[in-house]
Amino acid sequence: MLNILILCPIVAAILALLGAPARPAALLASLINLVVALLALFQYDKTGPAFQFVSEFGILPEWRLTYLVGADGLSLLMLLLTAIVTFAAVWVTPAVARLEKQFYACLLFISAGAMGAFASVDLFFFYAFHELALIPTFLLIGIWGSGDRQSAAWKITIYLALGSFILLLGLIGLYQSVPVAARTFDIRALQELAAAGKIHPASANGVYLLLLIGFGILISLFPFHTWAPKAYASAPTPAAMLHAGVLKKFGLYGLLRVALPLLPDAARHWTHLLIILLIGNIIYIGLVTISQKRLDMMLGYSSVMHMGYIFLGIASLNTLGLNGAALLMFAHGLSIAALFAIAGQVGRRTETLAFEDLGGLAKPMPFLGFAFGLAAFASIGLPGFANFASEILVFFGAFQSHVAGSPFFGFRLATVLALWGVVISAVYMLRAYKAVFMGELPGRWSALPDLKFSLRLPIVLLLATLLFAGFCPRVFLAFLAPSVKAASFRETLS
Amino acid sequence: MDESSLPWIILLAPLVSVAVIVFLTQGSRTISAGVSILAVLVSFVASCLVFHAPDPAGVNQITWLDFPALHVPIGVTIDQLSKTMLIVVTGIGALIHIYSAGYMKGDDGESRYFAGLSLFMFSMLGIVLANNFVMMFIFWELVGVSSYVLIGHWFFRDAPPAAANKAFITNRIGDFGFMLGILMLWLATKSVVFTEIEKSLGVSKFENLNLTAATLLIFCGTIGKSAQFPLHVWLPDAMEGPTPVSALIHAATMVAAGVYMLARVFFLVQASPDAQWVIAFIGTITSLMAASMAIQQNDIKRILAYSTLSQLGYMVMAIGMLSKEAAMFHLFTHAFFKALLFLGAGAVIYGMHHEQDIWKMGGLGKKMPLTCATFAVGTLALIGCPGFSGHFSKEMILAAALSGSKWTFAAALATAFLTSFYMVRLFVVVFLGEPKTDAAKHGHDAPPVMALPLVILAIPSFLAGYGFFISHFVPLHGTEAPGFVSLFAFLAFASGAVMAVLLYRGKKEDPIHIGLLANKYYFDEIYAALIRWTQELLARQCGRFDRWVLDGLVRLLSGGTYAAGFALRSFQVGNLQAYAFLFGAGIVAFLWYVVSK
């Protein structure tokens, strides 16, 4: 089942490159994946073992190289996210002027890479699949991007390559800290070893720091975030949707899947640092977001800012916070994809996304205005959307946690500031909404066509999923219990 | 049908209406209006049934979040308080819906408007029914967003969306405190459900300081939603919305939510004496300040808006004085006469072709006899004329103020005097004397669909204060104000009215000018400067820092290739191999390392 999720986009990409009609192939592959991801979710047995749908295939046994996939609730949620966002991104892709085949192939490879990374139970493939997804991202920005696309592409390439490299060092360090006899890439086995206290890295804190910074760069953790807004502003819409919505979650997923369960004490050791950095994400980036003057840059920064809330949930290391963080990964992925999709449609029509040029666009384009409103309110955590349910959990989880020795200047302060961030996000989102869609309509925009009916479906799909998960968060949270259990080790009520 | 499902019908009927309008009837304005009105009538009828049924023994609820440490149900509370509030919200809401069908006729966004009204009803009813803090917070925020939709209804102009943003963001500042208060209470009592918190309040290890802090943080929610000083600035601007929306926001729903919430968690207020003092103080300041601003406003809706602020200040003050009955009594009567006044103002504006300046009206009493008569009832009720509903509730408020200190009593009396003054001023300038413009000469009464709600609202505006009426809604325990309170109240009412008549009869323009009041104590200017010099300045500096320092550092570090620039210009598909190599190299390094061990 998981193999289909990974192989289907690859096959479609190869067929497209070989001359099959690219768009239908991509659409079909992403539709199949959506169905398969949903099926997997329904078939997952919540009472069974954590990792299910396991399939194994030894490639180079003497190199300990084994293709090993499997999924628990957390992976399934991420796989579903990947499937939904891929489907929406492919669907909203406008006519590609040049190299259409390659364009769709790139999108499909990103999807396959993300699927592979989230489905891998093998540390090596977990890393390699992510790399597979990154390369086409760079290409999409460098070749089909807009504005100063080449410098944006270079920056994201160099920056993320650095992040991957640091991450690699961390993973090597982790591997090395397992007793020689028990060395394995199998994440399940590693988690068991960790639970039994058999992983004793000589320098656990150092290894964790490498992982935190490596993953952190990929997630745009403050102050390693400057690659993100520009890259998203230059990237073609579907690439921005896929990267901000899905691929960026790889780092967070890695923290939850690898770093926390395997090095819990080190995670606690660095809590203070993480709190300081995530406050940077929320408050500092929040303020930077307010100062933006273009819609795409504003969205890029807002996505960086919201990473702070997920980090807050992860840092809290308790059930509430971790569940909130995991659900927020899902919710944020959908809402930011919807926002980028809509901004892309607006940009195609107006050829500018500067606030000073726009205004009143909801009049000629009521659907886009309405959908942007919903997505904007979702992203600032309005009740009814999944973002609210997850942020509430993060707040409760963080408030419950505390750092030994400093009860207030740790999580309490972080929670207070994160709550203030909710005000900040309302400021920049509503300002942007007003600047683009409300107020006086400049004469030259009065005849812009609204979104075609057929193109509305993917946006509706994204928003409907957000609403469903917001009304019934327990449906999704029910899947997360075992994975979160592995990552959480502190259950305290002060 | 099972009686326990009635509260859910009340709550969900408007939500269904939202869905139907958004998905099905957007194209037809009339059907959308019909759907919305039908939904609110369903809620109203169900509310009446609930009102007459005995209180249910258990609570039926569904679980929204379920963790060992945090259990959040979505459940309903049915008691005297919520029953009364249900009747007020759905009853007045229904009249405003019907009135809107006339007022909004021909507006392009009528469907959107009615979807907004239904969303508003859903959110407000959720607050009324909520049995726990998180559920209340959910609907609290939803009220914020539905007011955003309605205030910004005419989004293609500049002022309404700005006012909508201001309302939403100001409310979120209040909600910031509200949520923090919820977190503190939860941490101390391990619950978010009202009844459970109340129970464990006595036995928990809650320190006094924490309880006071938590209560005041919860009170922040009220400050935002009920527009109390210092977060009152959004309410007058909210007048940018269509007039029936103002009536809805001001009379029965949004702003009343803050007072209702305090009444719902009254046990918290009772338990923390320090918080009581602050609450009473804020309420007193708001009532006096808003009343003084009202006497120098010229926009008919803004005068009423400041009057709402002032009356809400009364209610909050009464809560702070631990007189929940007085607060709810005044909330109850105020809901009727303020709805009546706003809808009357709407009829005036409608008859004047969207003119809102009272100095361009005059003599409308002859042109709009029905509007004038009902507006007179509303005015007399608001200024506390003996015999009208407002008289009774205001006396109780004054009695509550007296229980504090002579200063609060004096402030409350001064507010009563000012209220009487500015309302009579308004009435004299608008309805009496000679028409001041052509539009005023040709004014006319509103069509029946708008006139009917006025007449219906005039009845409770007069009657709601009498014992046979109010005793069904707010248990007053036979509290009687001391005789001299009645005397003072009468003096304040009479002197204000007489002064206003003497000053404004036959005047063509305002004989008094007090810049400080006309400019609302410069709050807007002060806040604008504050925002400019803190948030905006900080945001700009952060933006610069991010662009030039952090990003500059990255550019510096990525050094060679970047500065040379040649690589930038040679980005081609052919470079795929380069990237593939880069990443392949990483993987190979990993493998090599593993194997060589």
Does B518 or A231 have the greater pLDDT score? A231
Does B229 or A464 have the greater pLDDT score? A464
The pLDDT of residue B573? 41
Least confident range of A57-66, A174-183, B61-70: A57-66
The pLDDT of residue A406? 59
Residues of A in contact with B569 (CB under 8 A): 150
Does B363 or A396 have the greater pLDDT score? A396
The pLDDT of residue B59? 63
Is the model's pLDDT at B587 over the cut of 70?
no
Does B350 or A306 have the greater pLDDT score? A306
Helices and strands in chain B: count of H runs, count of E runs: 30, 2
The pLDDT of residue A41? 92
Least confident range of A20-29, A172-181, A294-303: A172-181
Q: B74 CB near a chain A CB, below 8 Å? A: no
User: Predicted confidence band at A475 (pLDDT cuts at 50, 70, 90)?
Assistant: very high
Residues of B in contact with A396 (CB under 8 A): 69-70, 183, 186
Residues of B in contact with A493 (CB under 8 A): 69, 187, 190
Q: Do B595 and A440 touch (CB under 8 A)?
A: no
CA A432 to chain centre: 23
Is the model's pLDDT at A159 over the cut of 50?
yes
Cis peptide before A223 (omega within 30 of 0): yes
Q: How far apart are CA B94 and CA B343, in angstroms?
A: 13
Q: Residue B249 has what DSSP assignment?
A: I
Residues of B in contact with A437 (CB under 8 A): 155
Which B positions 342-401 lie with beta carbon below 8 A of chain A?
Answer: none
Q: B564 CB near a chain A CB, below 8 Å? A: no
Over residues B479-495, the mean pLDDT reads 82
Is the model's pLDDT at A67 over the cut of 60?
yes
Nearest to A429 by CA among A382, A479, A482: A382
Is the model's pLDDT at B155 over the cut of 80?
yes
Q: Do A363 and B593 touch (CB under 8 A)?
A: no
Q: Do A434 and B162 touch (CB under 8 A)?
A: yes
Q: B185 CB near a chain A CB, below 8 Å? A: no
Is the model's pLDDT at B45 over the cut of 90?
yes
Kind plus residue range of the DSSP H or E element containing B65: strand B61-66
The pLDDT of residue B477? 67
Supply the mean pLDDT for chain A.
Answer: 89
Residues of B in contact with A439 (CB under 8 A): 155-158, 161
Nearest to B447 by CA among B365, B350, B354: B350
pLDDT tens-place string over residues A357-381? 898 899 899 999 999 999 999 999 9
Q: Do B543 and A291 touch (CB under 8 A)?
A: yes
Q: How far apart are CA A105 and CA A125, in angstroms?
A: 21
Q: Which residues of A158-190 are buried (b: 16+ CB within 10 A; e: fewer)?
A: bbbbbbbbbbbbbbbbbbbbbeeeebebbbbeb
Does A148 or B582 have the greater pLDDT score? A148
Report the residue of chain A nearest B556, measured CA to CA.
A155
Q: Mapping DSSP to helix (H, G, I), strand (E, B) and coil, where does residue A354 land? A: strand
pLDDT tens-place string over residues B438-448? 877 877 888 88
Which A positions 38-57 lie with beta carbon below 8 A of chain B?
Answer: none
Over residues B35-56, the mean pLDDT reads 89
Residues of A in contact with B568 (CB under 8 A): 150-151, 154
What is the residue-wise DSSP string for A48-102? S-SSEEEEEEEEEGGGTEEEEEEE-HHHHHHHHHHHHHHHHHHHH----SS-HHH
The pLDDT of residue B480? 66
Q: Do A426 and B70 touch (CB under 8 A)?
A: no
What is the residue-wise DSSP string for B173-238? HHHHHHHHHHHHHHHHHS--BHHHHHHHHHHS---HHHHHHHHHHHHHHHHHHTT-TTSTTHHHHG
Over residues B466-485, the mean pLDDT reads 76
Nearest to B363 by CA among B455, B427, B446, B445: B427
Q: How far is B295 from chain A (nearest CA, A)?
A: 31
Q: Is the dihedral of CA B342, B346, B347, B352 positive or negative?
A: positive
The pLDDT of residue B30? 86
Query: Percentage of chain B with pLDDT > 70?
Result: 90
The pLDDT of residue A230? 87
Q: How far is A153 from chain B (nearest CA, A)?
A: 9
Contact (CB, 8 A) for A253 and A78: yes
Supply the mean pLDDT for chain B.
Answer: 85
* Spans of all domains in chain A: 270-494
The pLDDT of residue B565? 44
Q: B567 CB near a chain A CB, below 8 Å? A: yes
Q: A492 CB near a chain B CB, below 8 Å? A: no
To test the contact with chain A by mutation, choose from B172, B182, B569 the residue with the greatest count of A C-beta atoms within 10 A, namely B172
Burial class of residue B387 (count of CB atoms within 10 Å of its CB; 0-12, 13-18, 19+): exposed
Structure tokens at B525: 């200017």
Is the model's pLDDT at B579 over the cut of 90?
no
Q: Do B583 and A164 touch (CB under 8 A)?
A: yes
The pLDDT of residue A86? 95
Angle at A105 between CA A104 and CA A108, to 5 degrees: 85
To test the contact with chain B by mutation, choose from A230, A309, A434 the residue with the greatest count of B C-beta atoms within 10 A, namely A434
Confidence (pTM): 0.92
What is the residue-wise DSSP string for B326-360? HHHHHHHHHHHHHHHHHHHHHHHHHHTTS--BGGG
Is the model's pLDDT at B580 over the cut of 70?
no
Report the residue of chain A nearest B544, measured CA to CA.
A288
pLDDT tens-place string over residues B310-321? 999 999 999 999
User: Predicted confidence band at A408 (pLDDT cuts at 50, 70, 90)?
Assistant: low
Residues of A in contact with B156 (CB under 8 A): 360, 362-363, 438-441
Q: Do A434 and B165 touch (CB under 8 A)?
A: yes
Which B positions 145-164 lie with beta carbon below 8 A of chain A?
Answer: 145, 148, 152, 155-158, 161-162, 164
Is the model's pLDDT at A162 over the cut of 50?
yes
The pLDDT of residue B566? 43
CA B432 to chain centre: 32
Q: Do B168 and A426 touch (CB under 8 A)?
A: yes
ipTM above 0.95, yes or no: no
Name the most confidently modeled range: A451-465, B194-208, B490-504: A451-465
The pLDDT of residue B26? 83
Nearest to A320 among B69, B561, B580 (CB): B69
Q: Do A399 and B187 touch (CB under 8 A)?
A: yes
Q: How far apart are CA A465 and CA A151, in angstroms?
A: 35
Nearest to A422 among B138, B172, B561 (CB): B172
Q: A387 CB near a chain B CB, below 8 Å? A: no
Is the model's pLDDT at B392 over the cut of 70?
yes
CA end-to-end distance (rounded Å), chain B? 74
Least confident range of A299-303, B33-37, B151-155, B430-434: B430-434
Nearest to A423 among B137, B152, B169 (CB): B169
pLDDT tens-place string over residues B231-285? 988 888 888 889 889 888 877 788 889 999 999 999 999 888 888 999 999 999 9
pLDDT tens-place string over residues A436-449? 999 888 888 888 88
Q: B209 CB near a chain A CB, below 8 Å? A: no
The pLDDT of residue B315? 94
Least confident range of A12-21, A262-271, A479-488: A479-488
Q: Do B180 and A131 touch (CB under 8 A)?
A: no
Q: How far apart are CA B212 and CA A451, in angstroms?
A: 52
Over residues B331-341, the mean pLDDT reads 92
Q: Count contacts between A and B (CB, < 8 Å).
A: 189
Burial class of residue B113 (count of CB atoms within 10 Å of its CB; 0-12, 13-18, 19+): buried
Residues of A in contact with B580 (CB under 8 A): 135
Over residues A213-229, the mean pLDDT reads 91
Q: How far is A291 from chain B (nearest CA, A)?
A: 5
Is the model's pLDDT at A468 over the cut of 90?
yes
Residues of B in contact with A180 (CB under 8 A): 597
Which B positions 126-145 lie with beta carbon below 8 A of chain A?
Answer: 134, 137-139, 141-142, 145
Q: Do A172 and B593 touch (CB under 8 A)?
A: yes
Over residues A82-94, the mean pLDDT reads 94
Nearest to A438 among B152, B558, B568 (CB): B152
The pLDDT of residue A117? 95
Q: B528 CB near a chain A CB, below 8 Å? A: no
Over residues B330-345, the mean pLDDT reads 92
Q: B57 CB near a chain A CB, below 8 Å? A: no
Is the model's pLDDT at B355 over the cut of 90?
no
Nearest to B180 among A131, A168, A419 (CB): A419
pLDDT tens-place string over residues A176-201? 888 877 788 888 888 888 877 777 76
Over residues A24-38, the mean pLDDT reads 95
Structure tokens at A67: 């293709």
Q: Do B183 and A395 touch (CB under 8 A)?
A: yes
Query: Percentage of chain A with pLDDT > 70?
Result: 96
